[in-house]
Structure 1
Amino acid sequence: MKTSNRIGRTLLGLCLAASATVFAAAPADAAKVPAPAMKARLAAKVPVTGMVRAGNALVAVGDYGTIVRSTDEGKTWQQAEVPVSALLTAVHFVDETRGWAVGHGGVILATTDGGANWQLQATLDDKPVLLSVHFADAQRGYAVGAYGAAFRTLDGGHNWEHLAVGRGHDGDLHLNHIFGTREGKLFIAAETGVAFRSTDRGATWTKLATGVSGSLWSGLERADGEVVLLGMSGRVIASRDGGTTWQVRETGTEQSLTSGIALANGGLIVVGAGGVVLRGSGTAPFQLEVRPDRQNLAAVVAAPTGTVVVAGQLGVERLVSNK
């Protein structure tokens, strides 16, 4: 199977044991304690792979175990205390204080102070490459990644159980991004145009007929309930019936699209490779902007006042307006 070329997320050649084992953090071993993230004067310029809003703060994760946090809408950033130096790929908060981050080596980090300090909560057996994390509430969460890696926790991340998402060949697909809807459905964007949906809190999964073949990198739910998936070749596909049928939206670009946010006013902002920024509203054609620096963008968030912050291979940038 061809390995996907995900922006900023190098995938390692490892597989998961197909069992229903429950995984927990191993007992502390002084000889195996991971090295903490190094402090860097320009930590906000480290390549970033994921970014979210946590209350009034913005939190971004990236290479070398770097996590940075801003409480002034992206004007300045402070590096967090992180106990690992692995590449971190994704972050998610359930409220302004409680959040989780995942990355290479099966690491799962947790914070209870809004992202200023992090603890190594678990290191999953076989050390899978984790690419995405989503918590429906403070107890129930999910982590997915390379070669079909999928896990669920029911106790806030202390213990994790393996989930079987795909069947047959689909069981080895890279699961690139997991997200939830307000109705409680779960969606996973995966390789080769494949997407999965669960309506029973992750216990079982249905493969969706998206009608596209290129890998899907990310997804989100818009303010009106529309589900949107983003992927290779400038692809945006949208569903208004919970994933049963999909329509392709014209974007005007062939660059890979990696992340998007739904605005309260119904708008949509999508970013991707080559400095691409798309703005859309409803079903109207997207407005395409290409940033002069042409950096590969991996994340986008909106600060409390509406200022939009993007992040990618050059770190975080407070340069995009939502107008």
Structure 2
Amino acid sequence: MKTSNRIGRTLVCLCLATSAAVFAAGPADAAKVPAPAMKARLAAKVPVTGLVRAGNALVAVGDYGTIVRSTDEGKTWQQAEVPVSLLLTAVHFVDDSRGWAVGHGGVILVTTDGGANWQLQATLDDKPVLLSVHFTDAQRGYAVGAYGAAFVTNDGGRGWAPMAVGSGHDADLHLNHIFSTRDGKLFLAAEIGLAFRSTDRGATWTKLATGVSGSLWSGLERGDGEVVLLGMSGKVIASRDGGNSWQVRETGTEQSLTSGLALANGGLIVVGAGGVVLRSSDGGPLQLEIRPDRQNLAAVMAAPTGAVVVAGQLGVERLAPAR
């Protein structure tokens, strides 16, 4: 894979304001295993790039191999045992206990205890920068990243094979986020306004005409089945027909939008750079807030009782209710 400042993760740089023949995958050579993540008293204040819910817990991943976990709605956080000190970019759980995290160096970590302890499950050949991971069940999963890196596993992450997404010029694009919908479709948010959809578990992909030109950083499905993609210049685009057509939603900001959360009541919370928080209720218009700290936000997630937690440049914290 090519190496340059660009591969230092376009999205990570934005959010944190810092800093194939078959690709075989297997346990990393012990001589090449990075040092484990250092224990830090303020681990929850390390720049965070990914945040998910695992049963009654919240789990966040970020810089220096840091993973922190909260079981009290995000009030307090405990640092997990992690065998690498690389930048981790994304995390996903398939149930309350089993989850995966990915990051720089092609590392794939796995946990079976809800995120308290992690093992290095695989290191992909050529060590691509991985930006997103998603499992549809305990065996079938996907990892995607910079310069078109895309992989699939059928055995719970023990072995990974390359997955073709784009072709021609599109084959080299950063693939920023992968997610699935309740009807089994897979969606990929990518560079230059492109998105991809698969209806056959990743065997083939269709390029979608989104109508926007800037990079798309993230996506989600709302409770009513609407698919939403988020991107540069304050772009929120939505599709009610499975990605065949898209409508641009007004946001009132030109800041990049990085993560969204569909609420049980039909509402939506979107976060992004410059302290941007967008909220809507019952499918209504998005209302813009700017946090006083102006920190770049990379992720948002709801705890079991509904408390909302955001993560980004300054770590993890609970989001104040809308005024």
Q: Name 1:163's counterpart in structure 2.
A: 163
Q: Matched residues in 1 for 2:235 and 2:193: separation? A: 10
Alpha-carbon spacing, 1:189–1:158, altered in 2? closer, same or farther (3 Å)? same
Q: Name 1:191's counterpart in structure 2.
A: 191
Q: Which moved more, 1:134-143 or 1:276-285?
A: 276-285
CA contact (8 A) 2:66 2:82 kept: yes
Q: Matched residues in 2 for 1:141 and 1:177: separation? A: 13
Q: Matched residues in 2 for 1:49 and 1:27: separation? A: 24
Question: Sequence identity, in percent?
Answer: 82
Q: How many residues align?
A: 314
RMSD: 1.6
Q: Name 2:58's counterpart in structure 1.
A: 58
- Which TM-score applies when normalising by structure 2? 0.94
CA contact (8 A) 2:14 2:273 kept: no
Is 1:278 equivalent to 2:283 in the alignment? Answer: no
Q: Name 1:23's counterpart in structure 2.
A: 24
For residues 291-310 of structure 1, what are the alpha-carbon distances to aligned partners after superposition, in whole Å with 9 as ceiling and x for unaligned?
00000000000011110000
Deviation, structure 1 residue 22:
4.8
Q: Matched residues in 1 for 2:71 and 2:101: separation? A: 19
How does 1:1-323 map onto structure 2 within 5 Å? 3=6, 5-8=10-13, 18-19=20-21, 21-26=22-27, 28-29=29-30, 31-321=31-321
Letter in 2 for 1:290: I
Q: Name 1:15's counterpart in structure 2.
A: none
CA contact (8 A) 2:210 2:246 kept: yes
CA contact (8 A) 1:262 1:269 kept: yes
Runs of at least 5 residues in structure 2 that lack an aligned partner in the other structure: none
- Which TM-score applies when normalising by structure 1? 0.94
Q: Matched residues in 1 for 2:274 and 2:12: separation? A: 10
SS in 1 for 2:319: strand
Q: Which moved more, 1:282-291 or 1:86-95?
A: 282-291
Alpha-carbon spacing, 1:224–1:295, altered in 2? closer, same or farther (3 Å)? same
Letter in 2 for 1:25: G
CA contact (8 A) 1:8 1:48 kept: no
Deviation, structure 1 residue 262:
0.5
SS in 1 for 2:11: coil
CA contact (8 A) 2:266 2:283 kept: no
SS in 1 for 2:220: strand
For residues 48-92 of structure 1, what are the alpha-carbon distances to aligned partners after superposition, in whole Å with 9 as ceiling and x for unaligned?
000000001000000000000000000000000000000000000
SS in 2 for 1:193: coil
SS in 1 for 2:170: helix
Q: Matched residues in 1 for 2:85 and 2:105: separation? A: 10
SS in 2 for 1:6: helix
